């Protein structure tokens, strides 16, 4: 009984880590299996208009704060790192943009590549002022780029308002972006999120415009 109990506890811990991922996958596939053929055609048409944008980056890069600005057009900074998944939706005309952020801590980064296949666009956020962890950010970015050589990339050089932040040219060099497949759509943009209650920076609006143009139907 003790061995069975230990096994049960171990399985419970695994479910706690993967719970969000399993729920998202179950919800997507279970919905399709239960619908009739006519309903499935409607769902396929709806899903075709739903664009999933994967938002990744190391913990503390500012992913959630940027998403808050994109979704609400208000400045709401987040200081707590995302401990799993963070989903936000933006309606642009008749197109719904689904942002899926996955936390950037060590135990979550191994799951990043599992969501690349359903993404139409990768938004990768880098803390441009965190020189110490820049090599790690570079390493994780190039792992993703190797997994999907064609996925469009919007790279946000965040925290430009912090002293010592690398500018666009410096970050391009430090992240070895010159080695990126020339056929890949790549946009490198400088961003920062100001204090709560202030106006949303123009850099955030510019990033939103680029993201929208990349995923809108041609």
Q: Which residues are annotated as a binding site for GTP?
A: 57-64, 104, 158-161
Identify whether the C-beta of residue 119 lies closer than 8 Å to the C-beta of residue 52.
Answer: yes
Within 10 angstroms of residue 118's Cβ, the number of other Cβ atoms is 14
> Structure tokens of 32?
């399709």
Structure tokens that stand for 8 in this block: 């049960």
In whole angstroms, give the CA distance from residue 211 to residue 92: 11
Q: Which residues are annotated as a binding site?
A: 57-64, 82, 104, 158-161
Listed in sequence order, the residues at least 6 apart from 4 whose beta carbon sits closer than 8 Å to its beta carbon are none
Q: Do the Cβ atoms of 62 and 203 come closer than 8 Å?
A: no
Q: List, as residue ranges, the binding site for Mg(2+).
A: 64, 82
Q: CB–CB of 111/147 below 8 Å?
A: no
- Please provide residue 181's backbone torsions phi and psi, each rounded to the nearest 5 degrees: -45, 125
Tally the C-alpha atoms within 13 A of residue 54's C-alpha that lie toward its C-beta. Answer: 24
């Amino acid at each position: 009984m003790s061995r069975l109990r230990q096994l049960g506890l171990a399985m419970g811990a695994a479910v706690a880590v993967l719970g969000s991922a399993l729920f998202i996958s179950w919800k997507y596939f279970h919905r399709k299996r239960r619908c009739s053929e006519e309903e499935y055609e409607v769902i396929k048409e709806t899903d075709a208009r739903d664009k999933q944008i994967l938002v990744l980056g190391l913990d503390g890069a500012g992913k959630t704060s940027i998403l808050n600005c994109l979704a609400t057009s208000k400045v709401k900074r987040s200081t707590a790192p995302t401990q799993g998944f963070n989903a936000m939706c933006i309606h642009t005309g008749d197109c719904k943009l689904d942002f899926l952020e996955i936390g950037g801590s060590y135990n979550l980064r191994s799951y990043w590549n599992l969501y690349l296949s359903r993404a139409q666009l990768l938004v990768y956020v880098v803390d441009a002022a965190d020189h110490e962890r820049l090599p790690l950010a570079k390493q994780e970015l190039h792992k993703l780029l190797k997994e999907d050589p064609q996925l469009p990339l919007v790279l946000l050089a965040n925290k430009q308002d912090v002293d010592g932040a690398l500018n666009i040219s410096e970050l391009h060099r430090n992240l070895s972006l010159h080695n990126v497949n020339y056929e890949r759509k790549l946009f490198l943009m400088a961003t920062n999120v100001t204090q709560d209650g202030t106006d949303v920076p123009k850099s955030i609006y510019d990033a939103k415009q680029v993201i929208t143009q990349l995923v809108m139907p041609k």
